[in-house]
């Protein structure tokens, strides 16, 4: 899956650095002051409690902020007015449809996400949650060994539905699904793509997700179907089927970075070639995404996190400050501006913006062992900067290195090291 996600890393605006408590499905946050388990596996407040906050690993189910519901909407990329950097987002999805970490810009109606040398990756994520429905993207993938493009739906409890493009194989797109992050590589399947290749030709990739099945559709034709009935586990007496509200995420990431687990590098086609044809010709690797389509909030009511444990509520999704949590949404709020999406952290590293851990989810080739807390990122500055008109970036993505001989944890999207690459997203229409 996208270890996009994929997906990706968040900047820290901390005034001081402390060791945050780690968390996982088997280890909940224990301090009510820092109750939210971020998608990177650390406990905190503020952005830790927003998109990606895992209610099963948090102090309590209501520690995470409610999830904004998806609305049908058209998105245009003439500018970044409908997007906000992760360090400024406090949950007001009516003011910001998209949240991103990394360096992005708009150019000629395109959304461009870049990964310069020595950065750890970029994630562009929708702030609204879809609970069954359709999303589609018109995409030209990246190419080259070690480079992966991803287009996925990911829930806060690690349900996931994927399209992933491995740059070493331009004849097919990989599809996969996960239920609550459970590793099962039998869930994957490749779809051959007609035409010259996934890099040179436009193709439309769609996910049609219903309570009974998932269809992966390429260029209007159903290429793969997953039936919920086929996912029943007789031992647990549960359907291991993606069934919880999810966000659309897309990314370009260096799966072939040498510091990654060997299994991940092998899956990605080998170590990244920094002398690839595109880097020599353009100065970067890239993928292009064309048209994409696809009460107030959702909350979890039971730690089983099944479909029946989701409730539609009228609860607000907006935090009062980066110190607020689902347990106290108004903590630190500016009473004169209840709709603020911004704010800055003045607390510890686990009070406000999660430090980047490469994302969450399941990584192909990952053996699921623990990860080191050492920060191997070469850039430690954080914040937001504007380098050119229409160009904005957040810096200071920190990415831990795996312990020697080990692989990253299974709740981590690997975006380590550097990639002089770019994801060009020409997103003219997005309807969710």
Can you give the pLDDT at residue 294? 58
Q: Token pair for residue 335?
A: 């009473």
pLDDT: which is higher, 380 or 292: 292
Q: Tell me the average pLDDT of the chain.
A: 73
Beta strand pairing call for 43-46 and 351-352: parallel
Q: How confident is the model at residue 292 (pLDDT cuts 50, 70, 90)?
A: low
Q: What pLDDT sits at residue 379?
A: 32
98-102, 258-262, 266-270, 297-301: range with lowest mean pLDDT: 297-301
- Return the higher-pLDDT residue of 389 and 379: 389
CA-based nearest residue to 343, from 320, 317, 316, 325? 320
* Span of 155-164, 182-191, 317-326 with lowest mean pLDDT: 317-326
Percent of residues, the chain, with pLDDT higher than 70: 64
Cis peptide upstream of residue 224 (ω within 30 degrees of 0): no
Q: pLDDT by residue (tens digit) across 41-98?
A: 999 999 899 999 999 999 999 999 999 988 776 666 788 898 998 888 899 988 898 8
For the ranges 31-35, 123-127, 417-421, the maximum mean pLDDT occurs at: 31-35
DSSP state of 3: S
Q: Are 50 and 28 in contact (CB under 8 A)?
A: no
Alpha-carbon dihedral of residues 133, 137, 138, 143, nearest 10 degrees?
A: -140
The pLDDT value recorded for residue 364 is: 65
Angle at 171 between CA 185 and CA 293, to 5 degrees: 80
List all residues 6 or more positions away from 236 whose beta carbon is below 8 Å from its beta carbon: none
Please report the sign of the dihedral spanned by the C-alpha atoms of residue 240, residue 241, residue 247, residue 253: positive
* For residues 122-148, average pLDDT: 87
The DSSP code for 115 is E
Res 241 pLDDT > 60: yes
Q: Which domains does the chain have, with CATH numbers?
A: 36-294+297-425 (2.60.120.200)
The residues annotated with a catalytic role in the active site are 160, 164
Over the range 309-328, which residues count as b (16 or more CB within 10 Å of their CB) and which as e? Answer: bbeebebbbbbbbbbbbbbb
pLDDT for 411 equals 34
Whether pLDDT at 345 is above 50: no
Q: Please give the structure tokens belonging to residue 288.
A: 């292009």
Residue 240: band (very low, low, confident or very high) from pLDDT cuts 50, 70, 90: very high
Highest mean pLDDT among 96-105, 118-127, 154-163, 315-324: 154-163
Cβ atoms of 249 and 5 within 8 Å: the answer is: yes
pLDDT over 90 at 392, yes or no:
no
Say whether pLDDT at 361 is over 60: no
Rounded to an integer, the average pLDDT of 114-139 is: 82
Output the pLDDT for position 351. Answer: 52
């Amino acid at each position: 899956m996208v270890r996009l996600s994929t997906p990706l890393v968040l900047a820290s605006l901390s005034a001081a650095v402390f060791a945050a408590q780690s968390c996982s499905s088997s280890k909940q946050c224990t301090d009510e002051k820092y109750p939210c388990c971020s998608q990177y596996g650390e406990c905190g407040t503020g952005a830790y409690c927003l998109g990606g906050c895992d209610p099963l690993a948090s102090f309590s189910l209501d520690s995470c902020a409610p999830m904004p519901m998806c609305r049908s909407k058209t998105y245009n990329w003439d500018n970044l007015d409908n997007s906000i950097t992760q360090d400024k987002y406090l949950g007001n999805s009516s003011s910001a449809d998209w949240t991103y970490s990394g360096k992005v810009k708009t150019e000629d109606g395109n959304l461009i996400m870049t990964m310069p040398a020595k950065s750890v990756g970029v994630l562009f994520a929708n702030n609204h949650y879809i609970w069954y429905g359709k999303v589609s993207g018109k995409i030209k993938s990246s190419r080259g060994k070690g480079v992966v493009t991803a287009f996925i739906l990911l829930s806060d409890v690690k349900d996931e539905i994927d399209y992933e493009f491995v740059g070493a194989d331009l004849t097919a797109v990989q599809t996969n699904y996960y239920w609550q992050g459970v590793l099962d590589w039998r869930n994957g399947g490749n779809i051959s793509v007609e035409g010259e290749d996934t890099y040179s030709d436009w193709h439309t990739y769609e996910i049609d997700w219903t309570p009974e099945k998932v269809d992966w559709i390429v260029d209007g034709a159903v290429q793969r179907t997953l039936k919920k009935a086929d996912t029943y586990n007789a031992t647990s007496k549960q359907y291991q089927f993606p069934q919880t509200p999810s966000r659309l995420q897309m990314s370009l990431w260096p799966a072939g970075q040498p510091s990654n687990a060997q299994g991940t590098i092998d899956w990605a086609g080998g170590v990244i070639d920094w002398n690839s044809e595109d880097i020599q010709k353009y100065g970067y690797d890239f993928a292009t995404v064309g048209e994409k389509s696809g009460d107030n909030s959702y909350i979890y009511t039971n730690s089983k996190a099944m479909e029946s444990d989701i409730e539609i509520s009228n609860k607000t999704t907006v935090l009062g400050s980066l110190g607020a949590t689902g347990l106290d949404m108004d903590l630190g709020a500016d009473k004169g501006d209840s709709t603020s999406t911004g704010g800055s952290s003045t607390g510890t590293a686990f009070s406000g913006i999660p430090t980047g851990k490469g994302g969450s989810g399941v990584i192909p080739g990952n053996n699921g062992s623990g990860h080191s807390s050492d920060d191997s990122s070469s850039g430690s500055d954080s914040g937001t900067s504007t380098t050119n008109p229409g160009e904005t970036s957040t810096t200071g993505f920190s990415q831990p290195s795996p312990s020697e001989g080990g692989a990253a944890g299974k709740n981590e999207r690997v975006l380590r090291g550097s990639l002089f690459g770019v994801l060009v997203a020409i997103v003219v229409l997005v309807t969710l």
